[in-house]
């Protein structure tokens, strides 16, 4: 099925470092969402973006809706061990309820 291009696939960083990941598409989206999923759990919503250019923060997390509406990025500042998990971007086109997901970025944090 259709997926967004999410990068990097995985990251192994030191506690305290900042992290950046992004999601791109050849198509336009009108909503971008970022989720975090722990093993054996469902995705948990981190940040929702609804307008091109929108920059939104949630604690140490910051995400932006790209001005072209074809990309989004997520930054995590001062990473901590509990940031470990798989981060997914998801986008919606048009007025449908269908979310299209990226392949995920696996984040590992070394204490």
Q: Enter the DSSP assignment of 83.
A: G
Q: Of 10 and 16, which CB lies nearer to other proteins in the complex structure? A: 10
Q: How many residues bind other proteins (CB under 8 A)?
A: 29
Partners of residue 91 on adjacent β-strands: 32, 100
Maximal C-alpha separation, the chain: 43
Q: Do the beta carbons of residue 107 and residue 17 sit within 8 Å? A: no
Per-residue binding string, other proteins, 78-107, x by CB under 8 A, is: ----------x-x-x--xxxxxxxxxx---
Distance of CA 3 to the CA centre of its chain: 13
- Nearest approach in angstroms of CB 16 to other proteins is 29
Return the residue of 19, 33, 46, 109 that touches other proteins, per CB under 8 A: 33
Is residue 40 close enough to count as binding other proteins by CB under 8 A? yes
Interacting residues of 43 by C-beta distance below 8 A, sequence separation 6+: 35, 36, 37, 88
- Nearest approach in angstroms of CB 96 to other proteins is 5
Binding site for other proteins (CB under 8 A): 1, 3-4, 6, 30-31, 33, 35, 40-45, 48, 50, 88, 90, 92, 95-104
């Amino acid at each position: 099925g259709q997926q967004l291009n999410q990068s990097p696939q995985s990251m192994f960083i030191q506690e305290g470092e900042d992290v950046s990941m992004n999601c791109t598409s050849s198509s336009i989206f009108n909503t971008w969402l970022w989720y975090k999923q722990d093993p054996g759990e469902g995705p948990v919503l981190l940040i929702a973006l609804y307008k091109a250019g929108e920059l939104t923060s949630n604690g140490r997390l910051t995400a932006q809706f790209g001005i072209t509406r074809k990309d989004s990025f997520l930054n995590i500042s001062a990473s901590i061990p509990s940031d470990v998990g798989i981060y997914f971007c998801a986008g919606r086109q048009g007025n449908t309820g269908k979310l299209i997901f990226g392949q995920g970025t696996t984040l590992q944090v070394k204490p």
